[in-house]
Amino acid sequence: MAKKSLSIKTAFDMACDRYSGLGVDVAHALKSLEGVSISLHCWQGDDVGGFESLSGGLGGGLVATGNYPGKARTPDELRADLQKACTLIPGHHRLNLHAFYGEFENRKVDRDQIEPRHFARWMDWAKAQGLGLDFNPTCFSHPNAADGFTLAHEDKGIREFWIEHCRRSREIGAAMGKALGKTCVTNVWIPDGMKDTPADRVGPRQRLADSLDAVFKKTLPARHNLDAVEPKLFGIGSESFVVGSHEFYLGYALSRGKLLTLDAGHYHPTEGIADKISSVLQFMPEILLHVSRGVRWDSDHVVVLNDDLHSIAREIAANGFLKRVHIGLDYFDASINRVAAWTVGARNMLRAMLIALLEPPLICSAEAAGDFTTRLALQEEAKSLPWGAIWDYYCETKGVPVGNRWLADIQSYEKEVLSKR
Ligand code: RNT
Ligand code: ZN
């Protein structure tokens, strides 16, 4: 006769005993986890395509590889897919929209003409779903970005086009924040850079600083919209020079009171962002994270539960930065089921946060006492603590599938919905 498996609650109770023996308050950790809100990036759902009639393919050095069937072709399809993902991810989260996902009713509405009304259905839907919204100007996949320059372009007319786009994007972000009663973070990332060694690194950076100042000239209520700027080390087609480099945007964000965005894929391949969190938060109140996974380059693979993710979550949890760090996902894998890609990445981010929130306080006290042997020993022992039982219980109490059961939901959604596209 097959042995009856332990119930989720029994396993949870046993895990709680184990944790309380180490001074960990599991109930408190779960309460904190409930407050963790992840911004799901809409662009995983359609391989960064957007819904403009004028869009002529992905640009700006962004590459989505794979041709898995069933990608969202319309805003309604994208919303349906996101809604499915949300039934599989415990907690209350957000949606991160790019400007070219507006609903333009088959009309050509160029980027310098977008308005909040083009996002009215997204706002209504988000409200009905209880989701917050975040926003991004889309400074790529457009004829005015075809030569790889936008806000730093040497042509004044092109710069002004993108300035107007970014200004309007902030207004849309503020409209979203106001409509939902949840602050929107509007993140500016631009692709500007050069494939080969530039002769002039100064001119483009001066132009970018000036353009950004024009974009941010109007003060918007911080309770509706927060501005973030996203640096990068290199990109495809901008291998030798990125105008908006790390030092550029660190200086810009600090001097202008903006949030800095740390994208896990935007550094040297072995450089992580975890250590940067406590550094930049010494000098600015809040930051935005783009949690991603580079494989050999800024390849934007689906986020997995690896050491990088553990360290990011640990730095947020251990230092009480949950209110100061906005967490967003940023990857796009077109070779697997896209709803699964969201689900895997978001559940992993939450699992990493849970593990971090369950860290035994003895680790910090050992360090404070100068006992680095105990610190190391406990850090390693903590890796095999039964957090899985706590996670399963959390999923069950939040009404989402436990363990890999969510995969069956995705498979039937693929059969019934995605495969018919
Ligand atoms: C690009 C940046 C940026 C984009 C999205 C689509 O390197 O990471 O955040 O991925 O805006
Ligand atoms: Zn990013």
pLDDT digits (tens, 9 = 90+) for 70-80: 999 999 999 99
Angle at 35 between CA 408 and CA 386, to 5 degrees: 60
Burial class (CB in 10 A: 0-12, 13-18, 19+), 155: exposed
Domain range list for the chain: 1-24+359-421, 33-357
Res 152: pLDDT? 98
User: Which of helix, strand or coil describes residue 136?
Assistant: strand
Res 2: pLDDT? 42
Which residues, 6 or more positions from 134, have their beta carbon under 8 angstroms from its beta carbon? 39, 94, 95, 96, 97, 173, 184, 185, 186, 187, 326, 328
Average pLDDT, the chain: 96
pLDDT, tens only, 344-353 = 999 999 999 9
pLDDT beyond 50 at 326? yes
pLDDT, tens only, 218-230 = 999 999 999 999 9
pLDDT beyond 90 at 43? yes
pLDDT beyond 80 at 56? no
Q: For a ligand 1 pocket test, name from 263, 327, 333 the mutation site with the most ligand atoms within 8 angstroms of its C-beta.
A: 263
Instruction: Output the residue whose Cα is nearest ligand 1's atom 3.
Output: 189
pLDDT beyond 60 at 195? yes
pLDDT beyond 70 at 55? no
pLDDT, tens only, 120-159 = 999 999 999 999 999 999 999 999 999 999 999 999 999 9
Backbone phi, psi, residue 207, to 5°: -65, -40
Handedness of CA 87, 88, 92, 96 (dihedral sign): negative
pLDDT beyond 60 at 5? no
Asked if the 33-357 domain carries CATH number 3.50.30.40, the reply is no
Distance 260 CA to ligand 1 centre (A): 14
Instruction: Enumerate the active-site residues.
Output: 189, 230, 232, 263, 266, 290, 298, 300, 330
Q: Ligand nearest 189 Cα, by number?
A: 1
pLDDT beyond 60 at 1? no
Mean pLDDT of 97-118: 96
Mean pLDDT of 281-302: 97
Residue 168 corresponds to which tokens in the numbers above? 């309007």
Res 302: pLDDT? 98
pLDDT beyond 60 at 377? yes
Mean pLDDT of 40-48: 98
Ligand 1, CB within 6 Å, residue ranges: 43, 48, 62, 136, 189, 230, 232, 263, 290, 330
Q: Ligand nearest 41 Cα, by number?
A: 1
pLDDT beyond 70 at 369? yes
57 — pLDDT class (breaks 50, 70, 90): confident
What percent of the chain has a predicted confidence (pLDDT) above 90?
95
Res 15: pLDDT? 98
